[in-house]
């Protein structure tokens, strides 16, 4: 079994010793918190109550191990010994089918469903376009004086290779084949939330798991009270919340222009690319989704970020989810049921 990073072990020790008991006079479960930095290129936090540190660490270790497996399977940048992952599939584009495991099949089937339901606004086959923005962003962050946008001609050429129907999924044979040699998969809009959902379905009750802001509760706290989750302001620090909501199950996910970006000639360019314009979407500063499924919430937050509110609401209605939109002026708009979820 792969062990958690040293940072997690230290945090477990520190937060465990400083853990809060449910009641000072009555012995009960202690609150623990674990944080680690190695998954999905972001910060992961697990909060929960346990009888002792060993019990919590065992639960955190299992979640870490499961998330690590998904992280490696859905990685498009790195290879891992003995692992056939999305990079393997991308590298074989234009070639024969690639034998894969069930978690990859399930993710890509979900990606296809989301692609169809959002009219292509969330497209796992956008990798050729997204890679141009990724390269430009990384170069701009490393060398701000020479930061530049991707060439328009290159973006348009890449966009010719983004048809998800060119990704053939054979469930019976457990294979995936990309028939377009220039098409590349990129599941960044879905994979993190999808992985969190799959892991949390099998996790102990009463935990709050956050992977880069994809927050999923596996049940209420040990005393039966809901978890309180803050929705970050796009203009503030991490502790500046627009609202707090109570979560006893299900998920809260926010997509925003403040999370990954770079600056060119004084203009900030974020990472959420509108497939219609091939440029960073310009409708909203942030979109927050609340629904039962973290994978769905992740996908919907991206879809709605790239659409006007009316079109986004139509998608929400099909899935029974709730949303809050924040525009460039800071004005907030809500789906009909969102206000009922805000903590008084």
pLDDT of amino acid 88? 98
Mean per-residue pLDDT for 37-55?
93
Task: Name the domain boundary from 144, 178, 212.
Answer: 178
Indicate whether 307 and 195 sit together in one domain.
yes
The SS3 call for residue 75 is coil
Q: Does 61 lie in the same domain as 135?
A: no
Same domain, 28 and 162: no
* Domain identity same for 328 and 248: yes
What is the rounded average pLDDT of the residues 23-34?
73
Query: What CATH number does residue 25 fall under?
Result: 3.10.520.10
> Contact, 100 vs 83, CB < 8 A?
no
Look at residue 209 and tell me if it is in a domain: yes
Confidence at residue 170, expressed as pLDDT on a 0 to 100 scale: 98
Q: Is residue 84 included in any domain, yes or no? A: no
Q: What is the pTM of this model?
A: 0.90
Query: Which residues face 177 on adjacent strands?
Result: 168
80 within a domain of the structure (yes/no):
no
Question: Tell me, what CATH number does 119's domain have?
Answer: 1.10.3980.10
Segment 29-45 mean pLDDT? 92
Q: What is the dihedral of CA 230, 233, 234, 235, to 10 degrees?
A: -150
The band of 314, judged by pLDDT with boundaries at 50, 70 and 90, is: very high
Half-sphere CA count of 325, side-chain side, radius 13 A: 24
Residues 154 and 300 in one domain: no
Are residues 219 and 284 located together in one domain of the fold? Answer: yes
Residue 111's domain comprises 90-178
In a domain, residue 83? The reply is no
Instruction: Provide the mean pLDDT of the chain.
Output: 91
- Indicate the helix (H) or strand (E) that contains 253: strand 250-256
| Whether residue 311 sits in one domain with residue 194 | yes
Whether residue 94 is predicted with pLDDT greater than 70 in this model: the reply is: yes
Using DSSP, state whether 138 is helix, strand or coil: helix
334 has which bridge partners? 324
Residues 315 and 233 in one domain: yes
Residue 65 and residue 203 share a domain: yes
Report the sign of the C-alpha dihedral through residues 260, 262, 268, 270, in that order.
negative
User: Residue 21 is encoded by which pair of tokens?
Assistant: 């008991």
What does the DSSP 8-state code read for residue 21?
B
Quick one: 297 and 255 in the same domain? yes
Q: Which of residues 159, 178, 197 is at a domain's end?
A: 178
pLDDT at 238: 62
Contact 189, 299 (CB under 8 A): yes
Task: Assess whether pLDDT exceeds 50 at residue 133.
Answer: yes
Query: Picking from 30-39, 97-106, 109-118, 152-161, which range would have the lowest pLDDT averaged per residue?
Result: 30-39
Please report whether residue 101 resides in a domain.
yes
Q: How many separate domains does the chain show?
A: 2
Q: Residue 344 has what pLDDT?
A: 63
Sign of CA dihedral 89, 5, 42, 227: positive
Q: Where are the alpha helices (DSSP H) in the chain?
A: 6-17, 53-73, 86-91, 102-117, 127-142, 152-159, 191-202, 294-305, 309-319
- pLDDT tens digit sequence for 144-157: 999 999 999 999 99
């Amino acid at each position: 079994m792969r062990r958690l990073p040293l940072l997690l072990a230290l945090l477990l020790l520190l937060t465990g010793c400083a853990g809060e008991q449910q009641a000072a006079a009555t012995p009960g479960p202690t609150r623990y918190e674990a944080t680690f930095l190695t998954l999905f290129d972001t910060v992961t936090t697990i909060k929960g109550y346990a009888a002792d540190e060993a019990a919590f660490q065992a639960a955190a270790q299992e979640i870490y191990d499961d998330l690590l497996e998904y992280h490696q399977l859905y990685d498009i940048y790195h290879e891992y010994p003995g692992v056939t992952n999305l990079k393997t599939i991308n590298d074989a584009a234009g070639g024969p089918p690639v034998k894969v495991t069930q978690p990859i099949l399930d993710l890509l089937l979900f990606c296809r469903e989301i692609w169809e339901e959002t009219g292509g606004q969330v497209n796992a086959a956008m990798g050729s376009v997204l890679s141009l923005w990724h390269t430009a962003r990384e170069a701009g962050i490393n060398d701000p004086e020479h930061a530049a946008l991707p060439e328009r001609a290159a973006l348009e050429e890449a966009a010719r290779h983004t048809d998800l129907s060119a990704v053939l999924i054979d469930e019976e044979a457990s294979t995936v084949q990309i028939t377009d040699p220039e098409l590349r998969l990129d599941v960044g809009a879905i994979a993190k939330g999808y992985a969190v959902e799959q892991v949390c379905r099998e996790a102990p009750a009463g935990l709050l798991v956050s992977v880069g802001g994809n927050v999923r509760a596996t049940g209420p706290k040990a005393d039966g009270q809901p978890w309180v989750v803050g929705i970050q302001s796009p203009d503030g620090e991490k502790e500046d919340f627009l609202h707090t909501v109570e979560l006893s199950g299900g998920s809260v996910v926010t997509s925003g222009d403040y999370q990954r970006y770079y600056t060119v000639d004084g203009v900030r360019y974020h990472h959420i690319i509108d497939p219609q314009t091939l440029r960073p979407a310009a409708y909203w500063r942030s979109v927050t989704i609340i629904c039962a499924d973290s994978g769905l919430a992740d996908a919907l937050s991206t879809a709605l970020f790239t659409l006007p509110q009316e079109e986004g609401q139509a998608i929400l209605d099909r899935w029974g989810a709730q949303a809050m939109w924040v525009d460039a002026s800071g004005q907030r708009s809500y789906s009909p049921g969102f206000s009922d979820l805000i903590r008084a």
